[in-house]
Amino acid sequence: MAQAPQDPDVDLTERFIQFYRKYYSDDIGRLAQRYPNEQRSLYVDYDDLFRFDEDLAEDYRKKPDQIREYAEEALRLYDLPVDVKLGRAHVRLRNLPDSVDIRNIRVHDDHIGRMVSVQGIVRKATDVRPKITEAAFECQRCGTMTYIPQTDSGFQEPHECQGCERQGPFHVDFDQSEFVDSQKLRVQESPEGLRGGETPQSIDIDVEDDVTGKVTAGDHVTVTGVLHIEQQTSGQEKTPIFDLYMDGVAIEIEDEEFEDMDISEEDVAEIVELSNEPDIYEKMVGSVAPSIYGYEQEKLAMILQLFSGVTKHLPDGSRIRGDLHMLLIGDPGTGKSAMLQYVRNIAPRSVYTSGKGSSSAGLTAAAVRDDFGDGQQWTLEAGALVLADKGIAAVDELDKMRPEDRSAMHEGLEQQSYHPESEILLSDGRRAPIGPFVDSLMDDRAEAVVDGVDCEILPVDDVGVHSVDLESNETEKIPVDRVSRHEAPDRFVRVTFSNGRSVLVTPEHPMFVDEDGDVETVAAEEVTEGAFVPAPRKLPNSAEPRSLAPEPHRTRERDVRLPESMSPALAELLGLLTAEGHSYAGSSHEIGFSNQDERLLDRVDRLMSKRFGLESTDVVGDCGTTKRWISTKLYRWFESNFPEFMRPSTEKRIPEAVLGASEEEIRRFLVGAFAGDGSVESESMAFATSCRGLAEDYADALLKIGVASRIHYDEAEDSWKTYVMGDSTATFVDAVVDPADDRYERAEAFADRSTETKRHHDVLPTSAAEELRSIKRLLGVSLTGRFRETIDEGYGVRVETVRSEVEALRSRIETVRADLSSVATLADVRKAVGWSGRQLAERLDGVTTSTVHYAESGGYDDEKRRRLYDAAVESVRLALGEATDRLDELDARCDLRYYRVTDVETVPNDGEYECDWVYDVTVEPTNTFVSQGVVLHNSISISKAGINATLKSRCSLLGAANPKYGRFDQYESIGEQIDLEPALISRFDLIFTVTDSPDPETDAELAEHIINTNYAGELHTQRTKIANSEFTEDEVNSVTEEVAPEIDAELLRKYIAYAKRNCYPTMTDEAKEVIRDFYVNFRAKGSDEDSPVPVTARKLEALVRLAEASARVRLSDTVTEDDAVRVTNIVESCLRDIGMDPETGEFDADIVETGTSKNQRDRIKNLKQLISDIENEYEEGAPVDEVVSRATTELNLDESKAEQEIENLRRKGEVYEPRTDHLRTT
């Protein structure tokens, strides 16, 4: 125990003060400055405390509540650098060296009352609500205040008044009471770590104050806290059973992805070589569940599902999935579950779940109302599909899933759009409020407008935007595919960014934000202040000269020389005129310019003379000189080409001819505009204007030359200012400030100061700091605490810092790689990379820390030490490859700029914002466009009970289901044999029937395969478990060869990840023809008037997805004729299995689409008409016996089929029984 024998309390407090002075003096100083509004906790790393005093650290874990009091008392007594008292500040210990599995928490392990950390998924989270910690009671008789501390055991009231000593009555004075934010979480074990059949266990966690509201359902977290027990009750009686719960101290959100594939150059070489092999498809099939005999076509389809197609979009504005959905229906014991499990293990990211579900949320993120969190309230609960984003969700026993979960799998998109006044910048320089712009397009092309669900859609081919490809971070001009308008909601959300600009969107409109290093989408109403939003560093410009409209000459007017196209000199002139010019139409027509600066007056005069051949008429006044160029023709020409300049000063904009021009022309425009509207202040450079629209135009024009800016309204000057951001000042001065300008030296000096000063304008999100720390750990670099404040406070990291750190870590990789070539022992390997024994053990399968240290000390035999050495070297090499890839990704993130969200505001659809429609544009393939200086996009969200969450469900679904009545009957339609909604069945691209039919030849081959598989398993097990096994390794390998996968599972995972990351195939004409002919020929089978529809257009989309996936298997960017033939064969086979009416032998798409074949529909219609005819002949309705009798003779139905169809009609409510064994139609 870390106690002094004389006065342990004083000693422990003093020890913590010493600890703070040594490790956390700067952190406490920052806490003091920010307390209590910005920061209320000091986070202490366990490793720091352990290095300072091992006994004190262990005591903190064993007696956390007691020791924390000393730690917080020491914080209060600490000699603070500012006059602030940290009376209620918290000390939060985190980063414990090990975590406890939730299912392994035990009383006999002394977990109760100790500080532990657990890992898992947040399955439920309540809202953050106030909790009273000290209640102030006012006596209603004498007014005396009594303060009673409150605990979780129940609300405590005073026994009597401390003033009049009477027993009340009392009133709680909430203003005098103390409250704290509180929240309850339920954290469940991650399913991928469980053994088959195990149910995930969970623990409830109470969090308070500044750690509330940090996580949501679906987050992967590590929670550090104190473990407690609470006695269960049965009614009013206490029971001997106790529940476990935690008081959360610190929460860290882990990487949400199950597996990020790190692919080395060696892997790429092996993958490319493998892709060129002629039997690659056979090898792929042989790599899927080799222990399961047969099912080659099903296995090929699973491979195609793993590779998936390319995501596209429909004309109605919704997303065409590239993911492939596949369903296996068939008899029990045919290996469906085993194949699902195998595919789940191959997929780089995947989740396996049973249809019964380990969570009541099933597949989706659902809002659930229950008693979790003290009383009936809505909580958010995450399901499996949230965890399988961009992977595979393998759902077994799909038929046993809850109907509400099944319906979530084919839920439609919610509408996500802009308020009509939202201005968009088009690639040709035009700016327009999106509402009037889309309305005018639809009015002009009314015949082309398509009616959608509560919306109207117009395909367009003459509109372009600036779009960011978030895969490559490149910005380019891309045409808009379609525009649309939709019914407006009752409210909007305005999101404001740190560049001073904002967007007004529907609540579910997706906003791009940084999420743990990835750019993800979050519904606008869920965006939080401080979130990092991506933005381009520069907008692309035109490479072609911008033509200008001519102006015809009219009789007797003075002729003027007019330019035919934009030029840098004309652009500079327009900049000067936009800033200080005017136009006038009255008794004469003129273009004018007013200023006091003789240099500018002379510059404008020379530009006008050179461009137009006109001399000015000058008027000198008290405010300076006004130059007037009087010409009706010149006025008309300006009005035609630059109408934005001709407006009053409060409405002026940059001409679209300028914003759509070349970079040099835009630069020269800014030179002229800054000469007139610019200012160089002591700590800023800015454009000033009375028009907000012009301030935003300046920001867009600056972005066109790669200069970052922000706009701000200056109330004192009643003007809008566009400030140049500190990191862009040098670029701005070089490009825009004229050396002849009197302000040039001041501007240059300011740029020099800005370069020398570490400014935090150009930063990467906080996740970059977390990634740098993680990579440092991976490379054995000791952490200095450099980024601790950044991570704790959620600050950004300067791009220069990131690039410097990346370069240093790349050097570290080369050093380790060089050292690794000369190591001879296990200890040398560890020393080369700087890992602890624990770090090395964690990266080796089945190896503990003690194993590493024992081997290093000479333990074990030479062979085992050699195996450990080889494994360690390989582990380090893999770590270096992983670090290289992660550093490349981090470096690539610097290609984007990030702004922060400064405000999120709800705006009602009322008053000045009232509208009937909202509007959107669709851009393919990036599905992004730049607006207000940031990147905007679309996503999928779900909503219920006012709780919203982003549903990242871009996954492939692999389902398995059993027939409703046990075994598969090939003579009944699929709709009658499986208990699934037709709307769900029809969403599957491929449906296979997996049957168990006796066949002597097949059964013999199957038996041989199963026996050999088990024999191989016996040999392998004996070889590994028994030291003196009689079987050699060669003997085992020879037997297991036929059940081993053709391609190693790890390599196959990397192959799939590499293909999906790098291959985006397009159709060849030959492939298009094969798919088109297949579809048309299949449809032709239903051309007769009474024939069923054999296949729908939905299958055409499936064929395209499958063909794209087939091309990806070869790492090809082209879908060939062979790909098309391959997938049409698969689809035709599936259609023969499940799309053929067993009664007629005809293909009928309605079997899958509606669950009822055309033959059945005709039969039902005829039977219902027969019942109607018979019921008219009998007062009490149609006798069942009579209906069955006449159905067999008139409708050619056998008796059992007739009785079955009558029961179906009765179940659907289309007939009823007015009395026993009599029927009437409804």
pLDDT of residue 543: 82
Please check the confidence at residue 888 and state whether its pLDDT lies above 60. yes
Which amino acid is it at 10? V
Between the ranges 229-243, 424-438, 751-765, 1034-1048, where is the mean pLDDT highest?
424-438
Asked if residues 360 and 994 have their Cβ atoms less than 8 Å apart, the reply is no
Which amino acid is it at 509? H
Helix (H) or strand (E) holding 453: none
pLDDT of residue 255: 47
Q: Compute and round to an integer the Cα radius of gyration of the chain.
A: 36
Residue 410's pLDDT band (boundaries 50, 70, 90)?
Answer: very low
- The domain ranges of the chain are 8-94, 102-253, 288-413+955-1043, 454-537+896-927, 568-756, 763-892, 1158-1225
End-to-end CA distance of the chain: 83
pLDDT of residue 360: 35
Please check the confidence at residue 1016 and state whether its pLDDT lies above 60. yes
Please check the confidence at residue 213 and state whether its pLDDT lies above 90. no
- Residues of the chain with pLDDT > 90, as a percent, come to 37
Q: Comparing 682 with 978, which gets the higher pLDDT?
A: 682
What's the CA dihedral at 534, 538, 542, 547 to 10 degrees?
A: 100
- β-pairing, 990-994 vs 326-330, is parallel
Report the C-alpha gap between 21 and 9 in whole angstroms: 19
Residue 984's pLDDT band (boundaries 50, 70, 90)?
Answer: low
Q: How far does Cα 134 stand from its chain's mean position? A: 41
Which amino acid is it at 122? V
pLDDT of residue 883: 95
Q: What are phi and psi of 247, to 5 degrees?
A: -90, 110
SS3 of 1118, please?
A: strand
**What are the CA-CA distances from residue 781 to residues 776, 829, 879, 885, 950 (Å)?**
5, 15, 13, 17, 36
Asked if residues 591 and 583 have their Cβ atoms less than 8 Å apart, the reply is yes
Please check the confidence at residue 820 and state whether its pLDDT lies above 50. yes
* Average pLDDT, integer, range 335-352: 72
Asked if residues 1225 and 1178 have their Cβ atoms less than 8 Å apart, the reply is no
Q: Comparing 311 with 418, which gets the higher pLDDT?
A: 418
Q: What are phi and psi of 477, to 5 degrees?
A: -85, 130
Please check the confidence at residue 798 and state whether its pLDDT lies above 80. yes
Write out the DSSP string of 150-174: -BTTB----SS-TTT-----EEE-T
Asked if residues 1217 and 1223 have their Cβ atoms less than 8 Å apart, the reply is yes
Please check the confidence at residue 655 and state whether its pLDDT lies above 50. yes
Please check the confidence at residue 201 and state whether its pLDDT lies above 90. no
Please check the confidence at residue 514 and state whether its pLDDT lies above 80. yes
pLDDT of residue 554: 82
Picking from 667-671, 714-718, 909-913, 938-942, which range would have the lowest pLDDT averaged per residue? 938-942
Instruction: Output the average pLDDT for the chain.
Output: 81
Please check the confidence at residue 484 and state whether its pLDDT lies above 90. no
Spatial CA neighbour of 1127 closest among 1097, 1148, 1104: 1104
Write out the DSSP string of 24-52: -HHHHHHHHHHTTTT--EEEEEHHHHHHH
Picking from 4-8, 37-41, 725-729, 779-783, which range would have the lowest pLDDT averaged per residue? 4-8
Under CATH, which number does the domain 102-253 receive? 2.40.50.140
pLDDT of residue 975: 53
Question: 902: Cβ–Cβ under 8 A, 6 or more apart, which residues?
Answer: 496, 497, 498, 529
Which amino acid is it at 732? F
Please check the confidence at residue 504 and state whether its pLDDT lies above 80. yes
The residues that bridge with 797 in the sheet, in sequence order, are 764
Answer whether CATH 2.40.50.140 is correct for domain 288-413+955-1043.
no
Spatial CA neighbour of 576 closest among 664, 639, 668, 660: 668
In CATH terms, the fold of domain 1158-1225 is Arc Repressor Mutant, subunit A (1.10.10)
Please check the confidence at residue 381 and state whether its pLDDT lies above 60. no
Please check the confidence at residue 378 and state whether its pLDDT lies above 70. no
* Average pLDDT, integer, range 1005-1027: 64
Please check the confidence at residue 9 and state whether its pLDDT lies above 60. no
Which amino acid is it at 730? A
Please check the confidence at residue 365 and state whether its pLDDT lies above 50. no
Sign of the C-alpha dihedral computed for residues 43, 49, 50 and 56 taken in this order: negative
The residues that bridge with 903 in the sheet, in sequence order, are 496
pLDDT of residue 460: 84
pLDDT of residue 351: 67
Q: Comparing 322 with 638, which gets the higher pLDDT?
A: 638
The residues that bridge with 873 in the sheet, in sequence order, are none
Residue 757's pLDDT band (boundaries 50, 70, 90)?
Answer: confident
For residue 783, the 8-state DSSP code is P
Report the C-alpha gap between 594 and 253 in whole angstroms: 59
Spatial CA neighbour of 764 closest among 508, 532, 1083, 1101: 532
Residue 1097's pLDDT band (boundaries 50, 70, 90)?
Answer: low
Asked if residues 1202 and 1164 have their Cβ atoms less than 8 Å apart, the reply is no
Report the C-alpha gap between 1215 and 1171 in whole angstroms: 9
Report the C-alpha gap between 1125 and 1074 in whole angstroms: 7
Asked if residues 761 and 729 have their Cβ atoms less than 8 Å apart, the reply is no
Q: What share of the chain is helix, strand, coil (3-state, %, to 5)?
A: 40, 25, 35
Report the C-alpha gap between 35 and 851 in whole angstroms: 47
SS3 of 339, please?
A: helix
Report the C-alpha gap between 188 and 117 in whole angstroms: 13
Question: 1188: Cβ–Cβ under 8 A, 6 or more apart, which residues?
Answer: 1199, 1202, 1203, 1206
pLDDT of residue 375: 46
Report the C-alpha gap between 987 and 991 in whole angstroms: 10
Q: Comparing 128 with 335, which gets the higher pLDDT?
A: 128
Picking from 17-26, 844-853, 976-985, which range would have the lowest pLDDT averaged per residue? 976-985
Kindly report the pTM of this predicted structure: 0.49
Superfamily of domain 568-756: Homing endonucleases (3.10.28.10)
Residue 512's pLDDT band (boundaries 50, 70, 90)?
Answer: very high
Token pair of 1036, please? 């085992």
Token pair of 962, please? 């059993």
Q: Domain 454-537+896-927 maps to which CATH number in 2.20.25.190, 2.170.16.10, 3.40.50.620, 3.20.20.450? A: 2.170.16.10
Spatial CA neighbour of 435 closest among 913, 941, 925: 913
Please check the confidence at residue 1114 and state whether its pLDDT lies above 90. yes
pLDDT of residue 260: 47
Helix (H) or strand (E) holding 451: strand 450-452
* Average pLDDT, integer, range 629-646: 93
The number of residues in the chain equals 1226
Report the C-alpha gap between 144 and 134 in whole angstroms: 16
Report the C-alpha gap between 991 and 959 in whole angstroms: 9
Between the ranges 2-16, 363-377, 637-651, 1166-1180, where is the mean pLDDT highest?
637-651
* Average pLDDT, integer, range 920-933: 85
> How confident is the model over 449-470, as pLDDT tens digits?
765 445 677 888 888 999 998 8
Report the C-alpha gap between 1128 and 883 in whole angstroms: 42
pLDDT of residue 373: 54
* Average pLDDT, integer, range 683-693: 92
Report the C-alpha gap between 69 and 91 in whole angstroms: 9
For residue 84, the 8-state DSSP code is -
Compute the C-alpha angle 906/908/913, nearest 5°.
Answer: 110
Write out the DSSP string of 251-291: EEE---SS-PPP--HHHHHHHHHHHTSTTHHHHHHTTS-TT
Spatial CA neighbour of 226 closest among 116, 80, 86: 116
Residue 411's pLDDT band (boundaries 50, 70, 90)?
Answer: very low
Token pair of 713, please? 């309204």
Report the C-alpha gap between 194 and 462 in whole angstroms: 55
* Average pLDDT, integer, range 893-913: 93
* Average pLDDT, integer, range 1098-1112: 86
Under CATH, which number does the domain 8-94 receive? 3.30.1640.10
Q: Is the peptide bond before 925 cis (omega within 30 degrees of 0)?
A: yes
Place of tokens 């509007």: 919
Residue 1168's pLDDT band (boundaries 50, 70, 90)?
Answer: confident
Which amino acid is it at 593? F
SS3 of 1093, please?
A: coil
> How confident is the model over 80-139, as pLDDT tens digits?
766 678 888 999 999 998 888 888 887 767 788 899 999 887 877 787 888 898 999 999
For residue 191, the 8-state DSSP code is G
